[in-house]
Structure 1
């Protein structure tokens, strides 16, 4: 089905729960909250997805995305422990973890468009206007979303002071 191997299904189904978890945290908190139950679940599912990409990937860019995602997860979940960064920790945490969500969505949207419907995918060429437009929309959402998140954090910090 969809030309996915059993290992590919493990990768896909292992990372899939990270999408609604991220959406929930963005809607509820405006950002990914690493020290909450959904935040911990997000980390686990993202590590499954990013870790298994090395077993299923066919293109070098996939290895890069997997590596960068793992590094951003480590940075995003660890930056709070670097005390001398002060308030910058929350900003960095937000940027790092939002980037992980973006790096999850780019290949997810690409793979869906290249595999669905089964046997007659919507996109057969990586230069397809539909695919490029979808990726551009994700980039725009990342830029606007990060701007909104950083403004919200700045306002919160203004009230805390």
Structure 2
């Protein structure tokens, strides 16, 4: 079905929980909260997807996306262990983990458009306007979302400073 191998299904279904986990955290907290319950679901799903991509991918760009995603996850989840000045940790966490959401959604949207409906996909060419427009929309959402998150974090920091 959809031309996906059994290992491809493990990759797809293993990483799928990251999407609702990310959506929940962004809507609830305004960002990915790494060590929350949803943050742990996100981490495990992203690790499954990020590592299994090396077994199922055929395009060189997939390997690059996998490596960059795993590096951003490591920084996003590990930066909290560092003693950085001010709220730098929160900013780094937020930027890194938001980038992982983008790197999750970019191939997800691309693969869905190239495989659905089964046998007659919406997109057959990587330069199709629908695919390029969808990818550009994801990039716009990343820029708008990161900007909003940074403004929200700055505002939150100011409110904390005033409360002291």
| Counterpart-to-counterpart distance in 2, 1:55 and 1:84 | 37
CA drift at 1:84: 2.7
Aligned position for 2:153: 153
| Counterpart-to-counterpart distance in 2, 1:117 and 1:84 | 48
Aligned position for 1:132: 132
Aligned position for 1:51: 51
SS of the residue corresponding to residue 84 of structure 2 reads helix
| Counterpart-to-counterpart distance in 2, 1:54 and 1:46 | 13
SS of the residue corresponding to residue 122 of structure 1 reads coil
Structure 2, unaligned stretches of length 5 or more? none
SS of the residue corresponding to residue 35 of structure 1 reads coil
**TM-score, normalising length: structure 1:** 0.99
The question of 1:92 aligning with 2:80 is answered: no
| Counterpart-to-counterpart distance in 1, 2:84 and 2:95 | 18
| Counterpart-to-counterpart distance in 2, 1:26 and 1:75 | 19
CA drift at 1:86: 3.1
| Counterpart-to-counterpart distance in 2, 1:62 and 1:145 | 24
Aligned position for 1:9: 9
List structure 1 runs of 4+ shifted beyond 4 angstroms: none
What is the RMSD of the two structures over their aligned residues, measured on CA atoms? Answer: 0.6
The question of 1:20 aligning with 2:20 is answered: yes
CA drift at 1:82: 1.1
Aligned position for 1:118: 118
The question of 1:77 aligning with 2:74 is answered: no
Deviations 1:103-160 (A, max 9, x none): 0000000000000000000000000000000000000000000000000000000011
Aligned position for 1:37: 37
Count of matched residue positions in the alignment of Structure 1 and Structure 2: 161
| Counterpart-to-counterpart distance in 2, 1:159 and 1:128 | 46
Q: How does 1:61-76 map to 2 (within 5 A)?
A: 61-76=61-76
Deviations 1:35-80 (A, max 9, x none): 1000011000000000000000000000000000000000000111
